[in-house]
Amino acid sequence: MAPAHITRHANDGEGMEDNELHQWLIEAFGPIQGEMAWKQFSSLPDSIREQIMSQGVEGLPKPSEVRSLAEALTAGGLNSVGDVHRTMEEGPINVKLAQSIALNKTRDAGSQTMVSAEDGAAARRALSEANLWLDSVIEFDPVKGQPDVLTRSEWVEKTLPSWASFAAPVAESMNDALAAVLTERLGGALNGEISGMFAGPVPIPIPDDLKDPSTLMKLLGNTSFAMQLGGAAGNLSTEVHGSFDQGIALLKNPAGALIPENITAYAKELEIDRNEVMSFLALHEVAHARLFASVHWLMPRFEALIGKYARGISIDLDAMEEQLREAETMNPESIAGAVNLTKVGLSDTPEQQEALAGLERLLALVDGWVDCVVWRAGMAHIPHIEQLREMMRRERAVGGPAELTFESLLGLKLRPKRLREAADVWESITFAEGSEGRDGKWSHPDLLPALVDKPATDAAESGDGSDDAGATAGGSDTKIDWDAELSKLLDEDSGKDDGDPDDNAPSANDDPSDNDK
């Protein structure tokens, strides 16, 4: 693909000769299509042709940039007019094109083409152990079937349809906005038909079946949003560790998955043994899988909230036009910038704000519950669990690639800074009612605990563990004796009860305030 920025030919003179434009058309479109474009150009009124020629060769995009549009369409399965119509009937996003772009990014990153036997064995061992450790601390049964062990490209192929489903309402809005804005950027409109589409100032030949403006706009929007989705998924594929990193279920396999290549890189970055990091992330993945598989209303509730927010998206047409004018060409990567909601989305409506609040609360409760049970299941087995736990909390608070993907595709500015509070609430419920009472709260949405609506303190958001307010449940202000809880869990795991919590508690928990409640 051509880069997002546009590079021009150098030309010190003014204007250009006919043979220069003719040669550019041949290089950009090939011998046959280039000659068609030249004939179309020759049939334009003299005033228009003179205006175009006066801009000089530097006013044209590079031929390679024009070819990239055709290559993108071909990669998306658009080899004929029939393919175009079929793709548009399938939905507002060309999923095949998005997958092609994302997979190219994984190849450019030098990703593994297959999971090695060693990595696969380590991941499956960690997932199996995670299920055993969770058996003693949660009420939800293990998920039937085996989790997947994926490469980055496999993660793209298996999760991108879910992303496309979430983004479809936004893409519909984008297509309508593009139709409204780009109509003025098309050339040769006669009696409701379009004879050419401008690549810079030069008309690109369009098949007869695509000369209807509405059809062409749908194609352009379909392709442009696919570029956006494919780029986001490709970038995210190098960062994700499992299938529940976004806090929701993206795979058809309810048992979840791990991506060993990314886990190895993450462990190296943290300078912690890979097996420890693998075990910690496997616990997170399996805990999510058990929760979503057992709580049947959970994923439909997420989908409903995401859909409610996405359907309310409004597009700033002036901002979109400005983005398109800055792009200046029909290079697909340049056009994709005009369908980025961070640049052209309008402020949230009250309905969207309500949906966003519901999403953040539900995500916080899911993340907090997982954080709670992972600590209880793994604290006796993972020496650096406190460091790993804190790192994950901070990453979610500041917003990582997953949150940025939601923002660029759906306009959702998710920043689940309430994970810490939610984890405290679940710990308090566990302390008061046990795991059965805690997990029973998921039997119906109305039973979920409330989170206090108050601004997060700087200490809580920064993750320094200095907040000492304590967790509450059901309106009580019961504070948790973390050392006693830690000792209790260790004794249950080892079958011993020597009555001295300090003998079993790791140094990270010597001070309750350091345990992050």
Return per-residue pLDDT of the chain as tens, 517 residues: 333 332 333 344 456 788 888 888 788 777 887 787 787 777 767 766 776 677 666 666 567 655 655 555 555 555 455 555 566 666 778 888 888 888 888 988 888 999 999 999 999 999 999 999 999 999 999 999 999 999 999 999 999 999 888 888 888 877 777 777 766 554 434 344 444 444 444 444 555 555 555 566 666 677 778 887 888 888 889 999 999 988 889 999 999 999 999 999 999 999 999 999 999 999 999 999 999 999 999 999 999 998 888 888 778 878 877 777 666 555 455 566 666 777 777 767 788 888 888 988 999 999 999 999 999 999 999 999 999 999 988 887 776 666 777 776 777 776 656 788 999 999 999 999 999 999 999 999 999 999 875 544 433 333 433 333 333 443 334 444 544 555 555 555 555 444 443 443 333 334 433 444 3
pLDDT for 506: 39
**Which token pair is 257?**
């998955």
Q: Tell which residue, 401, 406, 336, 345, has the closest CA to residue 98.
A: 336
71 in helix, strand or coil? helix
Tell me, what's the pLDDT at 195? 45
Alpha-carbon distance of 489 to 36, in angstroms, equals 76
State the pTM of this model.
0.72
φ, ψ dihedrals at 77, nearest 5°:
80, 15
Angle made by CA atoms 272, 278, 281, in degrees to the nearest 5: 105
Contact 234, 102 (CB under 8 A): yes
Q: What pLDDT does residue 471 have? A: 39
Structure tokens that stand for 23 in this block = 């040669």
The whole-angstrom separation of Cα 454 and Cα 475 is: 15
475, 238, 272: which is closest to 389 by C-alpha? Answer: 272
Q: b vs e for 6-26, b when ≥16 Cβ sit within 10 Å of the residue's Cβ?
A: beeeeeeeeebeeebbbbbbb
CA distance 109 to 111: 5
At 9, list the tokens: 């030919």
Q: Which helix (H) or strand (E) holds 193?
A: strand 193-199
Q: How far apart are CA 333 and CA 234, in angstroms?
A: 14
Q: Which helix (H) or strand (E) holds 149?
A: strand 148-149
Q: Which residues contact 339 (CB under 8 A, 6 or more apart)?
A: 171, 174, 178, 221, 224, 225, 228
DSSP secondary structure code for residue 468 in this structure: -
Contact 276, 391 (CB under 8 A): no
- Tokens 């009250």 map to which residue? 350
How many angstroms from the chain centroid is the CA of residue 132? Answer: 31
Q: Which tokens sit at 166?
A: 């979430």
Write down the pLDDT at residue 56. 67
Which residue, among 287, 293, 340, has the nearest Cα to 315 in the 3D structure? 340
Q: How far apart are CA 362 and CA 302, in angstroms?
A: 8
